[in-house]
Amino acid sequence: MRTRRGFFQALAGGAAIVCAAQQGRAAPAKAPKKKVSKAKAKYQDHPQDIRACATCNLYLPPDQCKAVVGQVSPDGWCELFDLAD
- Report the chain's C-alpha Rg in angstroms: 20
Number of residues this chain uses to bind ligand SF4 (CB under 6 A): 15
- In terms of CB distance, is 13 or 70 closer to ligand SF4? 70
Report d(CA 64, CA 67) in Å as an integer. Answer: 9
What does DSSP say about strands 64-65 and 59-60: parallel, antiparallel, or unpaired?
antiparallel
The string over 34-63, giving b where at least 16 C-beta atoms fall within 10 Å of a residue's C-beta and e elsewhere, is ebbebeebebeeebeeeebbbebbbbeeee
- In terms of CB distance, is 23 or 67 closer to ligand SF4? 67
Select from 3, 58, 62, 84 the one that contacts ligand SF4 (CB under 6 A).
Answer: 58
Q: Does 43 bind ligand SF4 (CB under 6 A)?
A: yes
The 62-81 site mask, x for binding ligand SF4 (CB under 6 A), equals ---x-xx---x---xxx-xx
Residues that bind ligand SF4 (CB under 6 A): 41, 43, 53, 56, 58-59, 65, 67-68, 72, 76-78, 80-81
